[in-house]
């Protein structure tokens, strides 16, 4: 029988077994990395884990993982033998541009001769951009299509993981905001109840004493109790009016009617009205030629009246000046007094609701602690700022700075 010469197999079993093993190892690493990077809830933590897992997946010396946050700002993490840390903007930019040789150690986009870098990125048009860059030691480097495929697949998975973490973070922030709003509302209701109850208790107390002792009570005591009921009734009315104003300002019931207003003309027009309540203590000055701002005239009037009213109450013997001037490139209106002033430490909280610094003086002056809060709300909806400083020589200066008029037509904002 004819002996056929042995036929050499078309494949080398040793080679196939080697390739098989390599594939299996890659697959095992890949599925492990997938499991460890699933369900992450914090973007920065997720970036660190993705970078670390990416490095282990293809045995690189360092890995960068980066992706944009909800505001489009790129955030990234580097993982190498030293651990995990956040990546510099320069390095992220280099990796995104696919700049091979960018140095992960320095974080700068400098070129390291001979260093190999493999960059993998998802299509930004897909809505979930993510970039993974892996650096290899020069001696450990060999080209490998399967490694690149695994890296690409992992980058796609990382993009989804990071997008989920972003959604989780956004949902967490929204929930926290919701909780804060509910808590603020509860606090406000508690404060309002307390503030309303105080004068009401005084009124009811006076009436009840009058009823009990009405007959034998001397006239002076009787007048005292009636005065007290009167004062507290007036306080209650002021409180309710201020609360309604605050509610209107907060709920934007009246959208701002923004229009060009010349502050110098505005103050001159209001001067007679203010002078009447100021009993000769008020002067008006302008330190700039014109002061055209974009504002709501009714809201501005309310702010100025409130600030002058406060100066009259809390700086009782002082002259008061209303000055139109320049303030850091914006036109501004200041109400200046030479009274006791407001300590630096109280200048922030004085804008909170129901804050009254000197309880004895504010009770006697009929304050509600809502005036400055209301002023700040009204200034804010006009895109302005309200600040307190010390008047040279002592006293308070309240400054309302408003944006200039750059828009020719009138418009409403909410």
Q: Which of 343, 341, 338 is nearest to 320 (CA)?
A: 338
What H or E segment, with its residue span, contains residue 412? strand 411-413
Least Cβ distance, residue 368 to ligand ADP (angstroms): 4
For residues 52 and 338, which CB has a smaller minimum distance to ligand ADP in the complex? 338
Residue 118 dihedral angles phi and psi, to the nearest 5°:
-115, 125
Least Cβ distance, residue 154 to ligand ADP (angstroms): 58
For residues 153 and 284, which CB has a smaller minimum distance to ligand ADP in the complex? 284
- The answer for residues whose C-beta is within 8 angstroms of residue 223's C-beta and 6 or more apart is none
For residues 121 and 396, which CB has a smaller minimum distance to ligand ADP in the complex? 396
For residues 135 and 373, which CB has a smaller minimum distance to ligand ADP in the complex? 373
Least Cβ distance, residue 353 to ligand ADP (angstroms): 8
Q: What's the start-to-end Cα distance of the chain, in Å?
A: 101
- The answer for residues whose C-beta is within 8 angstroms of residue 309's C-beta and 6 or more apart is 277, 371
Task: Identify whether the C-beta of residue 293 lies closer than 8 Å to the C-beta of residue 263.
Answer: yes
- Strand blocks (E) in 72-160: 74-80, 83-86, 116-121, 131-136
Residue 72 dihedral angles phi and psi, to the nearest 5°:
85, 5
Least Cβ distance, residue 361 to ligand ADP (angstroms): 7
* Cα–Cα distance for residue pair 355/352, rounded to 1 Å: 6
What H or E segment, with its residue span, contains residue 396? strand 396-402
Provide the phi-psi class of 220: left if phi over 0, else alpha when psi is between -120 and 50, else beta: alpha
- The answer for residues whose C-beta is within 8 angstroms of residue 180's C-beta and 6 or more apart is none
Sheet strand arrangement including 292-295: 292-295, 256-262, 411-413
Least Cβ distance, residue 356 to ligand ADP (angstroms): 3
Task: Identify whether the C-beta of residue 391 lies closer than 8 Å to the C-beta of residue 338.
Answer: yes
Least Cβ distance, residue 267 to ligand ADP (angstroms): 18
For residues 130 and 320, which CB has a smaller minimum distance to ligand ADP in the complex? 320
What's the count of helices (H) and strands (E) in the chain, helices before strands? 9, 13
The first and second tokens of residue 204, run together, are 């009811």
For residues 241 and 410, which CB has a smaller minimum distance to ligand ADP in the complex? 241
Least Cβ distance, residue 396 to ligand ADP (angstroms): 4
Q: Which of 124, 132, 126 is nearest to 150 (CA)?
A: 132
For residues 360 and 409, which CB has a smaller minimum distance to ligand ADP in the complex? 360
Least Cβ distance, residue 301 to ligand ADP (angstroms): 16
Burial-class residue 379 by CB neighbours within 10 Å (0-12, 13-18, 19+). Answer: buried
For residues 150 and 374, which CB has a smaller minimum distance to ligand ADP in the complex? 374
* Cα–Cα distance for residue pair 300/316, rounded to 1 Å: 24
Residue 413 dihedral angles phi and psi, to the nearest 5°:
-125, 155
For residues 133 and 333, which CB has a smaller minimum distance to ligand ADP in the complex? 333
Q: Which residues bind ligand ADP (CB under 6 A)?
A: 310-311, 314-315, 337, 339-340, 342, 350, 355-358, 362, 367-373, 396
For residues 168 and 351, which CB has a smaller minimum distance to ligand ADP in the complex? 351
Least Cβ distance, residue 327 to ligand ADP (angstroms): 18
């Amino acid at each position: 029988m004819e002996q056929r010469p042995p036929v050499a197999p078309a494949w080398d079993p040793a080679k196939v077994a080697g390739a098989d093993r390599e594939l299996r190892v890659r697959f095992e690493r890949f599925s492990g990395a997938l499991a460890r990077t699933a369900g992450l809830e914090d973007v920065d933590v997720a970036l660190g884990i993705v970078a670390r897992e990416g490095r282990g997946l293809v045995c690189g010396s360092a890995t960068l993982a980066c992706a944009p946050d909800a505001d489009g700002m790129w955030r990234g993490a580097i993982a190498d033998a030293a651990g995990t840390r956040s990546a510099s903007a320069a390095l992220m930019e280099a990796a995104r541009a696919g700049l091979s040789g960018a140095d992960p150690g320095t974080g700068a986009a400098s070129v390291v001769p001979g260093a190999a870098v493999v960059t993998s990125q998802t299509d930004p048009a897909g809505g979930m951009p993510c970039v993974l860059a892996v650096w290899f030691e020069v001696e450990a480097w060999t080209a490998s299509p399967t490694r690149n495929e695994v890296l690409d697949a992992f980058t796609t998975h990382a993009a989804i993981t990071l997008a989920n973490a972003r959604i989780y973070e956004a949902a967490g922030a929204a929930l926290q905001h919701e909780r804060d709003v509910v808590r603020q509302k509860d606090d406000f209701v508690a404060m309002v109840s307390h503030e309303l109850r105080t004068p009401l208790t005084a009124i009811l107390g006076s009436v009840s004493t009058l009823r009990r002792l009405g007959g034998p009570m001397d006239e002076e005591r009787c007048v005292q109790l009636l005065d007290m009921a009167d004062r507290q009734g007036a306080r209650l009315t002021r409180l309710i009016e201020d609360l309604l104003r605050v509610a209107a300002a907060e709920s934007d019931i009246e959208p701002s009617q923004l229009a060009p207003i010349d502050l110098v003309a505005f103050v001159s027009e209001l001067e007679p009205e203010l002078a009447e309540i100021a009993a000769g203590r008020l002067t008006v000055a302008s330190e700039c030629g014109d002061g055209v701002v974009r504002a709501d005239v009714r809201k501005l009037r309310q702010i100025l009246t409130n600030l002058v009213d406060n100066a009259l109450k809390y700086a009782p013997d002082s002259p008061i000046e209303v000055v139109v001037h320049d303030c850091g490139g914006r036109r501004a209106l200041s109400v200046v007094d030479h009274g006791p002033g407001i300590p630096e430490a109280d200048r922030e909280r004085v804008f909170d609701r129901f804050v009254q610094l000197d309880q004895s003086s504010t009770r006697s002056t009929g304050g509600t602690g809502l005036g400055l809060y209301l002023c700040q709300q009204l200034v804010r909806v006009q895109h302005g700022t309200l600040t307190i400083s010390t008047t040279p020589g002592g006293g308070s200066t309240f400054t309302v700075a408003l944006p200039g008029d750059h828009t020719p037509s009138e418009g409403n904002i909410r």
